Amino acid sequence: MDTNEKFEGKIIIFTAPSGSGKTTIVRHLLHKYAFLGFSVSATNRPKREKEVDGKDYYFLNEEKFRRKVEEGAFVEWEEVYPGKFYGTLKVEIERIWSKRKHVIFDIEVKGATNIKKLFPDNSLAIFVRPPSIAELRKRLLGRQTESDEMLLKRLARAEEEMTYENTFDKVLINDLLEVALEEAEQFVESFCII
């Protein structure tokens, strides 16, 4: 690519109920395509074991998160669960585009909807769907990261989020991972015209 050529950054949004496999798909795409840059979300939830601040999330306390909301620092933000905030900082998209890369998101459904509204012409929104709620429950149990109460909240939220499925540009059913990865590659390649 000619460095003097104007770079038109694109946005690829992967969204899904928690446990559907969107993070696995996004990690695969980031490993395969050097032209993609991962948008790191901000959250006030506690850091899990092995998570790295600035890589997995920007971990902010609630006060700092709310201050950034008031300052207009977010492209989108959401109180996903009571007292648990997630959002995308404007500087994060600018950071990736300044490297002449396309932004790839791994984001919850309402945030994905908001980003798609803000960038309707240069974004591709892909909804990753589990084969069933029963399979989703099995995957969430297999993670062993949730209390029983949080698992029930995630499953209830997943059922609601699945009603948004047809509002996105593409739907990818993640039943067999290898097939889902190939389909995701095809979506990215045709959108980014490689």
pLDDT tens by residue, 95-106: 999 999 999 999
* For residue 92, pLDDT beyond 90: yes
What is the pLDDT, as a whole number, of residue 46?
92
Among candidate residues 126, 125, 115, 37, the one with its CA nearest the CA of residue 74 = 115
Q: What is the pLDDT of residues 39-69, one digit of tens each?
A: 999 999 999 889 999 998 999 999 999 999 9
CATH number, span 16-189: 3.40.50.300
* For residue 4, pLDDT beyond 70: no
Q: What is the rounded distance in angstroms from the CA atom of residue 178 to the CA atom of residue 131?
A: 14
Q: What is the pLDDT of residues 21-34, one digit of tens each?
A: 899 999 999 999 99
What is the pLDDT, as a whole number, of residue 173?
92
Q: Which of 80-84, 93-97, 131-135 has the weakest average pLDDT?
A: 131-135
User: Which of the residue ranges 102-111, 152-161, 180-189 has the most confident prediction, judged by mean pLDDT?
Assistant: 180-189
What is the pLDDT, as a whole number, of residue 1?
45
Sign of CA dihedral 71, 77, 78, 81: negative
Among candidate residues 33, 53, 2, the one with its CA nearest the CA of residue 12 = 33
Q: What is the mean pLDDT of the chain?
A: 90
Q: Where are the domains of the chain?
A: 16-189
136 vs 73, more confident: 73
% pLDDT > 90, the chain: 65
